[in-house]
Chain A
Amino acid sequence: MVRRIGISGNYAVAYAVKMADVDMIAAYPITPQTTIVEKLSEFVANGELDASYMNVESEHSAISACVGASLTGARVFTATSSQGLALMHEILFMASALRTPIVMANVNRALSAPLNIWNDHSDAMAQRDAGWIQLWVRSAQEAFDATVESFKIAEETRLPVMVNMDGFIVSHMYEPVELPDEEEIRKFIPSRPLENRVSTKRAHAVGVVGPPEYYYEMKYQAIDAIEESRPKIKEIDNDFNSRFGKSYSEIDTYGIEEADAALILMGSIFGSAKEVANALRRDGKNVGVISLRVFRPFPVQELRRAIEGIRAVGVVDRATSPGGSGNPLYNEVATALYDMPERPVIQGFVAGLGGRDIREDDFRLMYDATQKAAREGAGRCIYVGLRE
């Protein structure tokens, strides 16, 4: 039976992890992620979850412990934000190359300096080349569903998965969330021994030196694995849908069928963007929105299909790449669309850094500028709401 309860995005993740029956959790508290691992420690202490809970001295140790535990075949979880994710940086690359199916919730928060605990996407964008699958959610329900799916995606691809959730806006927002029976979740992601794991029963060395004769081939395995994950992510979502009646595609669109201009964005601002698009459509402006749920592997074909017929797109970055040819999401979109025979004009925006709200007027400005780009061509990146 499905239970409908009021919980925060963070608690939704904790419930999903508990239902996934993880074997080990290694965590270090950091705002705004803390209540995920706090709730999980409660589940373990109460005997509701039979898992080993490791309090470590840093995020670097948290992810290192997860890699080690995962190599033995354990189902592991960790959660972090911002500086914590940055501290994990070097180990993130090992997690993907050693093919450890770790699931991590990253509650998106700005990177220092100045010190800031609020939401933007700079933490995850700085780790985009670490070889992790990245999912982006927009509500507590999505956070629950994506976390459940992530364990299956991770174990079938033997790649680590990062579930990204906007700090405070999703992580601390209490919403009604539908929780399926724990038994049903466990049928969806049964615990099973992973092959090729470290064991005392046979000789097996991992994390070995990859000299120039081998590094390239070893690295390519993880590149191939993330490419091959595309159909698997779809299949797993279909399976999830048949069991729980919810489905999430790589990209989500709103009002783009007749649109001449559309915004492309990620995370919780999809809701506000839809509201404003709706208001503008009532005034006869043909605008729409595209939201990415999967950022790695980047949904190139899905985006190209969605974009057909649209004359201009505006890419909303909530992170920057100082001195770059564009900001992270802009660069991905521009590269994905570049060799389309009739590609749209692409206007870049930066908005909502360090928790700055992106308000109705900001969206109106971005839709207007994108429509203007359709007529006159795109200009330089617009830093929305920046005071001179």
Chain B
Amino acid sequence: MKCVKTTLKGWREIPEGGAITEPGSSVNFDVTAWRTSSPVIDQEKCTKCGMCFLYCPDSAIEIDETGNYRVNISYCKGCGICAKGCAPKAITMVKEGH
């Protein structure tokens, strides 16, 4: 899934009281700037158990067409839960900027 960055709305355009009237609006929210480290998956070690996919609180782990698990970096805030939950230790958290 591709993160759609929407233009920020002005106060007149926002529904009254700041209500969110469309479902699924969190897909528009890019959290890249929150991260200090990001997960890197070693596909050799990965057993495709899917624990990272289940644990990720932001649904940032996706399954590609070949059946491999991938990180959608727009939604990853770098919490490291996927790495902690990975039994074969296939996920390494790598500091941003290294």
Contacts and interface: CB of A to CB of B under 8 A. Distances in A.
A196 to B, nearest CB: 5
Contact of A98 (B10, B18, B23): B18
Main secondary structure of the interface of A (DSSP, over half): loop
Interface residues of A, number: 20
Contacts of A210: 18
A208 B21 contact: no
Contacts of B16: 99, 158, 196, 221
Interface string A141-163: 00000000000000000100000
Interface in A91-145: 97-100
Contacts of B23: 203
B20 A208 contact: yes
A213 B11 contact: no
B8, B14, B15, B17: residue with the most chain A Cβ atoms closer than 10 Å: B17
B22 interface: yes
B9 A217 contact: yes
A224 interface: yes
B20 A204 contact: yes
Contacts of A202: 21
Contact of A220 (B8, B11, B19, B21): B11
Chain B interface, >50% SS class: loop
Given A217-B10, A220-B11, A97 B21 contact: no
Q: How large is the interface on B (under 10, 10 to 19, 20 to 34, 35 or more residues)?
A: 10 to 19
Interface in B1-58: 8-11, 14-23
Point out which of B11, B14, B22, B23 has the most chain A C-beta atoms below 10 A from its C-beta: B11
A221 B18 CA distance: 9
Contact of A205 (B9, B14, B19): B19
B19 A214 contact: no
A224 B11 contact: yes
B11 A99 contact: no
Nearest to A210: B18
B20 A205 contact: yes
Given A213-B8, A214-B8, A221 B14 contact: yes
A210 B22 CA distance: 16
A221 B22 contact: no
Pairs A-B, 5 closest by C-beta atoms = A218-B18, A99-B17, A217-B11, A203-B23, A205-B20
Given A158-B17, A221-B11, A224-B11, 16 more contacts: A97-B18, A99-B16, A158-B16, A196-B17, A196-B19, A204-B19, A205-B20, A206-B18, A208-B20, A214-B14, A214-B18, A217-B10, A217-B14, A218-B11, A218-B14, A221-B18
12 contacts: A97-B17, A158-B16, A196-B17, A196-B21, A202-B21, A206-B19, A208-B20, A217-B10, A218-B14, A218-B18, A221-B14, A221-B16
